[in-house]
Chain A
Amino acid sequence: MLTQQMQKQKQLLLSWAAIQFSLLLLLQQAFAGWVIAIFALLLLYRLLSVFKAKAGISLKLVNLLAGIIAITFFLQLRQAGVLHFMLQILLLAATARLLALQHLYEARQLVWVHYFLIACCFILHQDMLIALFILLVFAVNLYSHYRLFSPPVSRLNWLQAGRSILIILPLWLAIFLLFPRLPPFWQIPNANIASTGLSDTLDPGSIEQLVQDDSLAFRVEFTDTLPPRQQLYWRARLYEDFDGRRWQVNALRQNASRQRAPDNAAASKDSSLSYRIIAEASQQTGLFALATPVTSSSNVFISPSGLLSSNKPVSQRLSYQVSSSLTPVVLVSEQEQQLNLRVPPGNPHTQQFAYQLKQQYPQSHELVQALAEHFRQQPFYYSLTPPTLGSNSIDAFLFDSRTGFCSHYASASAVILRHAGIAARVVGGYQGGNWHPQQGYLAVRQREAHAWVEYLHNGVWQPFDPTAAVAPDRILDSLDSALPEDERALLDPGWRQLVLLQNLRQQLMHLDYYWSVWVLGFNDNSQRQLWRTLYRHLPAMAYSAAVLFSIIIVVLLYLRLTQSGTDNTPQATKQLYRYLGKALATKPLSLSVSAFLLQCAKRYPAHDAYLKQLTALYEQALYKEDTEALNQLKQLLKCHKAELGRLRRAIKNT
């Protein structure tokens, strides 16, 4: 008994240590390196002591240790942020409890804290696979919880567990689907995690880095049909400040993004496009939309310059509905125009080139056409690995290297246009995407990051993509086709080229899509819709439930009736009739079964011993209601089928 207890305790200690290790892994991005090291050391020590069958450390020492570590955590509070601090303290509490654990009943608090920490993992991770892993950790914790309150040796009762799961699952789903969903109660601390995607500055090299990242940026579902690829310019950032080397988002824009643009009722309805975007966590507020967004769901804002943003950094997948009018963005103010006419000093060749163009083509759209023609006809190259440029970067690019990526072309074009007196800015965002016809969504990955130009013409910002002139394949097909063979390898690390893995990855991505639409994207809107559907089908459901119910009742009644008819025959008699039915059919009504059997025994001396044994057992089972005898009777009948057969034949022949 004691050893069983020990065994159970060891098992549980190991499972808790495993849970804490996985929590450490899952929460690692919330912890600094030294924090992880401390936790790993503590856990390793505990594991060692479990294997050497030593008791836990004394409570006093653990408290002292935990106190010191907690104080260091507190001193680092500014750096870590409140959320991470909370996670650190919780995990510290759990680990300290595990270290000092002497009795199993003390482990209840441990299990409780584990539940909370496991839930916190979902703040940082929402990928389907990781979520499944977290659920697995949860299951282990639940099992250890069960073991705390179950007898030391018992095995899991699978039947009972299965039945409980059958009840829990529908209950769980029903609560999830129907329980009221509320808006957030208060502002919560967010994790300090490096943001991904486009940043507020556009270096010559920043997009090249981004396109080597194969991770998903967002997914789009279109209400109607997929628009042609050339129209899929997902605007995300406006770069309006240029210092001669890098482009930056203007400070005004950063503040103004909170304002909601007045609804443009004037936008023509026929050219509008409605779609839903599921954006991946980027830790940024900026979101994506096509052309001029007109209306959106309430969780995102439309700024006057046609950019979408959420009110707080996107720390988990965000789903929103937008409808866009496929017309260029309208000029907001005079100030905006002035902002986009400033040019930095330097780049004299570019300036000269711009003046020449201006003289040749006084109309702005003609000038842009000519510029595109210039890129198309002169030997310009599209490349992921452009040479480094000097101080006059635009000059060096336009007249010297002539090799660059979309950001180089966009940047150069915007500068030329500004020198020519046309307000122009660089737009950062994504172009194109991967269409999955079966699942019906467009996957836009970071590698689709792109930069292009908008110039002011007749009070609207006309888009102009110089890359389309240099490498039209980039726009019409994909980045891969626009790049030379040797540079494609940069995009694809070796394992990604395996077809099988590629397929698997695709399938996983589709699954992940459904996961994000149905699980992560389920919100009060979808809930309301579900309610409405339920309400609409209420009569039908009621009818079918009534029909089903009455069928069940009829079947039950039928079973009841038929059972009561046969139930009078005792079990022992039934058994005899099962094996000796034909022989017993010759029995005269006046004789009892046992009398008949004894008669047979007399008549067929070959079976005498067997029949007597049978009769004795039968009588015992019938009159004494002895279950043991009944079982023996069954055995006797089952094991002597040959003898029974001979007996039957003998009775039949006489």
Chain B
Amino acid sequence: MPNLTLKQRLYQRYWQLISRYLDKRQPPADKVRLVQKLIFILPTRYGWWFVLLIALLYLLGTNYQNNLILLLCYLLLSVFLVNIVLAYQNMSGLTLQCQQAAEGFAGTDTTVTVNLSSDKKHFMLNMNFVRHNETVLLSQPATTASLNLTGTKRGKYTLPRIKITSQYPFGLWRAWSYVALAQPYWVYPAPDADKSAVNVAATDSSQQAKTDAGETLAPYRAGDSVRHMVWKRLARDPTNPVVRQQHFSAQAEPSWIVVPALSGDALERALRYACQQLLQLEQSGSSYGLKLPALTLPQAKGPQHLQRCLQELALC
């Protein structure tokens, strides 16, 4: 990453250190209860201003030899100190749990629902995923919190650490904790109806010579399997490589969604199209199966089947 500034690089380095430390301190777990060793407390910026106020009042009280100003100063000091305990109490005992793996399509927000439980009341909790800007504020005791993650690439990921902070009650101390929940989240390929992306040849198949039933020829694109290359044609016309492609369409094989063995950009496009088809079929209520280069899922229907299929697409 050459185009990062020094500050960003240092920040990254810092995060590496921190996460190594945190992984040792709190390895990902199904259910995390915030206890003393997980809660960090430091003064906020306003807290430092408050310290300055206390110092100024001490100077004022000492210079005027005024006991009442000193008393006020010490009162503020004890309020400041007791706030450590209060900030801690507002965090401790909160249990976080993520029962279901979150799922979403690439490029859109994935909503992660975190269940909160506690025998105390917690106020003004701020939650966000580490290195994600979007925060959720729970001003009142709540049982669930919905956090958004934006996934750009399909796949199965482990949840990033959840940063949960609170400045309650006086904004003088920030108590925070990084919670790692052992739960994956899925980013499925974004559904895309652009059929031509998968098979350009299908539209102009009439002009192209059909080599076999259900097969068409298409110009080679990066990522197409070399095994499907029409070598004879390549010898004739080396500048325009042509690949043999299976001809698949909803009409021909209505209940089988086939993702050909491709790679790179072509595979992504095929997966996006397959995703679109899966969603359409599920919506229309027919049963469908999924054929991937590596595995085949038998025909079925229902949300669980859809989820399974989508997950396979994400992992493909």
Q: Is the CB of A131 within 8 A of B62?
A: no
B139 touches A519 (CB 8 A): no
Report whether A168 and B82 are in contact in the complex, using a CB–CB cutoff of 8 Å.
yes
Report how far A211 CA is from B44 CA in the complex, Å: 56
Q: In the assembled complex, which residues on chain B have CB atoms less than 8 Å from the CB atom of A134?
A: 68
Determine if B69 and A151 form an interchain contact, defined as CB atoms under 8 angstroms apart.
Answer: no
Shortest C-beta distance, B84 to chain A (Å), equals 11
Residue of A145, A167, A188, A519 near B68 (CB, 8 A) is A519
Chain B residues with a Cβ under 8 A of chain A: 46, 49-50, 53, 56-57, 59-79, 81-82, 85-86, 89, 121, 123-124, 139-140, 167-171
* B70 closest partner in A (C-beta): A176
- Top 4 A-B pairs, shortest CB-CB distance: A151-B139, A122-B68, A149-B171, A171-B78
State A315–B67 Cα separation when bound (angstroms). 13
What residues of chain A lie closer than 8 Å to B89, measured between beta carbons? 160
Among A181-215, those with CB < 8 Å from B are 181-186, 188
* One of A113-121, A224-232, A249-257 contacting the partner: A113-121
Rounded to whole angstroms, the CA-CA distance of A179 and B77 in the bound complex is 12
A637–B64 Cα gap in the complex (Å)?
Answer: 69
Contacts of B124 in A (CB 8 A): 149-151
Given A151-B139, A152-B139, A175-B74, A185 and B67 contact (CB-CB distance below 8 Å): no
Residue from the list A116, A167, A172, A523 in contact with B74, Cβ < 8 A: A172
Give chain B residues whose Cβ lies under 8 Å from the Cβ of A150: 123-124, 168-169
Chain A interface residues toward B at CB < 8 A: 108, 112, 115-116, 118-120, 122-123, 126, 131, 134, 138, 142, 145-146, 148-154, 157, 160, 164, 167-168, 171-172, 175-176, 179, 181-186, 188, 315-316, 519-523
Q: Taking the nearest CB of chain A, how far is it from the CB of B93, in angstroms?
A: 14
B62 adjacent to A175 (CB under 8 Å): no
Q: Known contacts being A112-B50, A120-B60, A172-B78, is A148 close to B171, with CB within 8 Å?
A: yes
Given known contacts A123-B64, A150-B168, A171-B82, is B77 in contact with A138 (CB within 8 Å)? no
From known contacts A149-B170, A167-B85, infer whether A108 and B46 are also in contact, taking CB-CB under 8 Å: yes
* B174 CB, nearest partner CB in chain A, Å: 11
Q: How many whole Å from A528's CB to the nearest CB in chain B? A: 16
A175 and B78 contact, CB distance less than 8 A: yes
Q: Can you name 15 A-B pairs with beta carbons within 8 Å? A: A108-B46, A112-B50, A116-B57, A119-B73, A122-B66, A122-B69, A122-B72, A123-B66, A149-B167, A168-B79, A172-B75, A183-B62, A316-B66, A520-B67, A521-B67
B298 CB, nearest partner CB in chain A, Å: 39
| C-alpha gap A148/B171 in the complex (Å) | 8
Contact B63 A185 (CB under 8 A): yes
* Extra inter-chain contacts (15) besides given A122-B68, A146-B170, A171-B81, CB under 8 Å: A115-B76, A126-B66, A126-B68, A134-B68, A138-B72, A150-B169, A151-B124, A152-B139, A167-B82, A172-B71, A175-B78, A176-B70, A186-B63, A519-B67, A520-B67
**Inter-subunit contact B68/A520 (CB<8 Å):** yes
Give B120's nearest chain A residue, CB to CB: A160
A179 to B139, CA, bound (A): 38
Closest partner residue, chain B, to A109 (CB atom): B49
Nearest Cβ on chain A to B94's Cβ, whole angstroms: 16
Given A123-B69, A175-B74, A185:B167 Cβ within 8 A? no
A residues less than 8 Å from B167 (CB atoms): 149
Bound CA span A123–B49, Å: 22
**Chain B residues whose CB sits within 8 angstroms of the CB of A315 once the complex forms:** 64
**A182/B62 in contact, CB under 8 A:** yes
User: Across the interface, do A164 and B86 meet the contact criterion of CB distance under 8 Å?
Assistant: yes
- Tell me the minimal C-beta distance from A596 to chain B in angstroms: 35
Cα(A433)–Cα(B299), bound, Å: 108
The residue among B59, B75, B85 with the most chain A CB atoms within 10 A of its own CB is B75
Report Cα–Cα, A122/B57, bound state, in Å. 11
* Known contacts A108-B171, A316-B66; is-contact A176 B53 (Cβ 8 Å): no
Say how far B143's CB is from chain A's closest CB, in angstroms: 16
- Minimum CB distance partner of A167 in chain B: B82
Known contacts A123-B66, A148-B171, A149-B167; A168 and B140 CB within 8 A of each other: no
Instruction: Determine if B62 and A185 form an interchain contact, defined as CB atoms under 8 angstroms apart.
Output: yes
Chain A: which residue is nearest B57 at the CB level?
Answer: A119
Q: Which residues of B contact A182 (CB under 8 A)?
A: 62
Closest to A126 in B: B68
Distance of A146 Cα from B79 Cα, bound (Å): 11
Is A119 a contact partner of B69 (Cβ separation < 8 A)? Answer: yes
Distance (whole angstroms) from the CB of A316 to the closest CB of chain B? 6
Most chain A CB within a 10 A radius of its CB, from B78, B85, B86: B78
CA distance A610 to B241 in the complex (A): 87
A112-B50, A118-B72, A148-B171 as given contacts; A522 in contact with B67, CB under 8 Å: yes
A164 and B65 CA atoms in complex are apart in Å by 29
**When chains A and B are docked, how far (Å) is the Cα of A150 from the Cα of B62?**
34
CB distance from B83 to the nearest CB of A (A): 9
Shortest distance from the beta carbon of A114 to any chain B beta carbon, whole Å: 10
